[in-house]
Amino acid sequence: MADKRAERIAELIRPLRVEPGSKVNLAGDFDPGYKADLVKKKDGRQLLETGIALLADYQRRLAAQDTYGVLVCLQALDAGGKDGTIRHVMSGVNPQGVQVSGFKVPSAEELDHDYLWRYACRLPARGDIGIFNRSHYEEVLVVRVHPENLDRQKLPAGAKGKGVWERRYREINDWERYLADNGFKLVKLFLNLSKEEQRTRFFKRLDLPEKNWKFSAADVRERQRWDDYQKAFSQMLSATSTSWAPWYVIPADRKWFARICAAAVLAHTLIGIDPQYPEVTADRRADLLVVKGELGAQAPKGVPADPYAAKKAKEEAKKARKAEKARKAEKARKAEKARKAEKARKAEKAEKAETKAEAGKAEASENAEAEAEAGPVAGNGHRPEESRDQSARASRARSRTGSQDGTAQAAPRASRARRGTATAGQPAQLSPGTTRSRSQGQPG
């Protein structure tokens, strides 16, 4: 689960990372209104709460391990959302382990030191998280857009000449490398706000009385240097995004998404550190068991020797009963689902059988109707009309056979009569017609 969570976080922040060595054109490379497809606004609150809980867990482990420190650097134009990001993202962590520092116009004391001195004084301790609301990058942003600020830093003439900004980029990278090598991880977030969204937020500060205090006329004057700042931001991101301290450009037009992204980058850094609770030695554990026995012996009558263990056991038992109840409910649900499926299967089978029976009945009925229209069938397999025709044909056949038999019997008698007549000496004289008629069995 933890690995999958880390993969999702890495996937979310990957498009926001400034690759070390790349040349950045802020306006063309990063959209202030960008929103990842895998994150929906309706899920934003829940995702942020999940991220805050994750940060709280890692902060406790970071403090317990007491080996690493984390420095979060927030840079943005006015109304970019720095204060809101800090308030929402860090809302669930222990305030004792977080230190927020804001940097405004340098004081006289700060101007008497090198330009990184005041930032070094506010670095977090091991086990803590430090947040710079505006950071040491002001020295290559505001100071660059307003060169008069460079004159106030009392630098030698050679330190203000050509190449001052490239030198400061190098010095900042070296300083951050030094911090990283000593166990202090840097999380650098640039909140990228569009010019129109900034104008909208300025109007909100003007229109809402409770926000009037946040508005400054100087903020509007700074808008006139918008292009200068965009150029300074682009050069800063190009020169100071390193493998040990990369920049992440957070799209800031949607506050809810910007806060999720900021929490994700910080969580990604803590996951990479992977702080662990210290393990006690065997001797230390033995000492703890002795103390535990002494405290148990002090328990009043009727009270568990170890009330915390008893409470935990009770909670575990309750949790187990709840899990068993859920298991039985799931088993019953599956059984009911199987029962309904079996019932549906039987109903479907019965419906098919009934449909088949009805189809058979319909077919038989159609056959019966066809036979009724054709008439009944006799026992010999022929219909009555056919039987009567056959009987008539048989009767005519017998009649013809009988006539033929009678003619055959009459011919011998005629022959004997002729012989008798001839014998008497009187030969018979027959006409041709008579002879032909008698031979055919018909009277002459």
pLDDT at 398: 64
At what angle are helices 164-181 and 226-240 packed, to 10 degrees?
50
Question: Helix (H, G, I), strand (E, B), or coil: what is residue 108?
Answer: helix
Residue 249 to residues 38, 150, 261, 360, 417, Cα–Cα distance (Å):
18, 27, 10, 76, 147
Q: Residue 187 phi/psi, 5° resolution?
A: -120, 105
Task: List CB contacts of 231: < 8 A, sequence separation 6 or more.
Answer: none
Find out whether 427 and 421 touch, Cβ atoms under 8 Å: yes
pLDDT at 37: 85
CA–CA dist 142, 236 (Å, integer): 12
pLDDT at 378: 52
What is the CATH architecture assignment of 2-273? 3-Layer(aba) Sandwich (3.40)
Q: Concatenate the DSSP letters of all residues of 212-234 into one string.
A: GGG--HHHHHHHTTHHHHHHHHH
pLDDT at 376: 58
Show the DSSP H helices in 16-152 as ranges.
26-29, 44-65, 82-89, 108-111, 117-120, 142-145, 148-151
Question: What is the block-wise mean pLDDT of the chain (444 residues), using blocks of 10 residues?
Answer: 81 96 96 90 88 94 97 96 94 93 94 97 97 97 94 89 94 98 98 96 94 90 95 98 98 96 96 94 92 93 91 93 94 94 93 91 88 66 56 62 52 48 44 42 43
What one-character DSSP code corresponds to residue 438?
Answer: H
CA–CA dist 156, 105 (Å, integer): 21
Task: List CB contacts of 206: < 8 A, sequence separation 6 or more.
Answer: 212, 215
Closest CA to 129 of 179, 104, 94: 94
Question: Helix (H, G, I), strand (E, B), or coil: what is residue 132?
Answer: strand
CA–CA dist 233, 427 (Å, integer): 161
Does pTM top 0.85 for this prediction?
no
Tokens of 20: 């070390």
| Identity of residue 197 | E
CA–CA dist 267, 265 (Å, integer): 5
CA–CA dist 144, 260 (Å, integer): 31
pLDDT at 385: 56
CA angle 261, 262, 265 (to 5 degrees): 85
pLDDT at 43: 86
Q: Residue 177 phi/psi, 5° resolution?
A: -65, -40
Residue span(s) of the chain under CATH 3.40.50.300 come to 2-273
pLDDT at 6: 87
CA–CA dist 188, 176 (Å, integer): 11
Find out whether 198 and 230 touch, Cβ atoms under 8 Å: no
What one-character DSSP code corresponds to residue 17?
Answer: B
pLDDT at 390: 59
